[in-house]
């Protein structure tokens, strides 16, 4: 008879494959949730909460707002990918996602998306307040039911998608007890305008993928030279005065204003460079500039706001 020592306990042969399958499933759900985008949204919520607290900062409402927002972000991403599962199979950049690759099935993704999106909105309604819940519902509806279908019809989808993309700091602001006033608008406008060079650079890099899938992410499926770069430059110019709005409504002081100008000029230079030489290198340079610009500016905005209160 074969014996098994205590140092090497017996494990049925089928246990290991089952564990591997479970781990693969969990990793697929994590990928479905787009964690990097969710984390950036949560940072924006925390910034909005800090700015909307008016010096009365309490961790429990922020915790509830972060939990609810995370569920909404995860659910929106899942529902977006469920709706786009057919076009995702046609693009190199998305063909390995959980649905096109077959790691998850449409029915389970739909259930997961609905449960997390609706659950997140209900959680915010119960644990935070109804105004923040209304903003969460607006985020889901615009992103899933308006922006996603419009991607097949018009390049104006980018402007529509920028609305839910700009709402996270507003969610934090209202979670702290703030109203939809000038402060909320300043935060919304900052993120709204920042998104255009960012997403246009992505759309240009993957323009052939989008064209093959029938998605209209640019003014033309395969745009003429300089058009996308010119649009990025115009939005970067508009971002400069918009980024100064937090100072104008007394959310920050001169330190933030100078940072907004300096970072905005850097963002503009990268946009002009892309406009003059539309290459993968300059497009990626603009994309990286956008990813440096926003977190750094939000950090300085928060710091300068706290200095005003101290």
CATH code where residue 35 lies: 1.10.357.140
pLDDT in tens, 21-40: 788 889 999 999 999 999 99
Number of folded domains that form the chain? 2
**Shared-domain flag, residues 143 and 228:** no
pLDDT in tens, 121-172: 999 999 999 999 999 999 999 999 999 999 999 989 999 999 999 999 999 9
**Shared-domain flag, residues 274 and 143:** no
**Shared-domain flag, residues 241 and 306:** yes
**Shared-domain flag, residues 239 and 300:** yes
**Shared-domain flag, residues 34 and 174:** yes
In a domain, 294, yes or no: yes
pLDDT in tens, 56-85: 888 999 999 999 999 999 999 999 999 999
Closest alpha carbon to 60 in 136, 127, 120: 127
Last residue of a domain, one of 125, 154, 180: 180
pLDDT in tens, 169-180: 999 999 999 999
35 with 63: CB under 8 angstroms? no
Q: Which 8-state DSSP code applies to residue 177? A: T
In a domain, 6, yes or no: no
**Shared-domain flag, residues 309 and 205:** yes
Global pTM value: 0.91
In a domain, 14, yes or no: no
Domain that holds residue 256: 182-310
Q: How many CA atoms lie within 13 A of 140 on its CB side?
A: 26
**How far is residue 267 CA from its own chain's centroid?**
19
In a domain, 100, yes or no: yes
């Amino acid at each position: 008879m074969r014996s098994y020592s205590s140092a090497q306990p017996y494990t049925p042969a089928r246990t290991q494959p089952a564990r591997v399958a479970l781990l693969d499933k969990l990793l697929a759900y994590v990928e479905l949730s787009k964690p990097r985008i969710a984390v950036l949204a949560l940072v924006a919520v925390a910034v909005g909460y800090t700015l909307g607290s008016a010096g009365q900062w309490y961790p429990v409402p922020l915790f509830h707002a972060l939990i609810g927002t995370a569920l909404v972000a995860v659910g929106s991403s899942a529902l977006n990918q469920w709706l786009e599962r057919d076009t995702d199979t046609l693009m190199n950049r998305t063909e390995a996602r959980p649905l096109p690759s077959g790691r998850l099935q449409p029915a389970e993704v739909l259930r997961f998306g609905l449960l997390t999106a609706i659950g997140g909105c209900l959680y915010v309604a119960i644990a935070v307040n109804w105004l923040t819940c209304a903003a969460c519902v607006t985020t889901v509806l615009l992103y899933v039911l308006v922006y996603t279908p419009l991607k097949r019809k018009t390049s104006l989808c980018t402007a529509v998608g920028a609305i839910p993309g700009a709402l996270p700091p507003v969610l934090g602001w209202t979670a702290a007890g703030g109203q939809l006033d000038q402060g909320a608008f300043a935060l919304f406008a900052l993120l709204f305008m920042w998104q255009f060079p960012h997403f246009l650079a992505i759309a240009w890099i993957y323009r052939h993928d989008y064209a093959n899938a029938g998605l209209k992410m640019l003014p033309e499926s395969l745009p003429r030279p300089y058009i996308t770069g010119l649009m990025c430059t115009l939005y970067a110019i508009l971002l400069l005065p918009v980024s100064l709005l937090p100072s104008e409504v007394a959310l920050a002081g001169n330190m933030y204003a100078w940072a907004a100008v300096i970072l905005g000029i850097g963002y503009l230079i990268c946009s002009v460079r892309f406009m003059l030489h539309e290459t993968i290198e300059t497009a990626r340079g603009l994309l990286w500039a956008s990813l440096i610009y926003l977190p750094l500016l939000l950090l300085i905005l928060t710091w300068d706001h706290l200095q005003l209160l101290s």
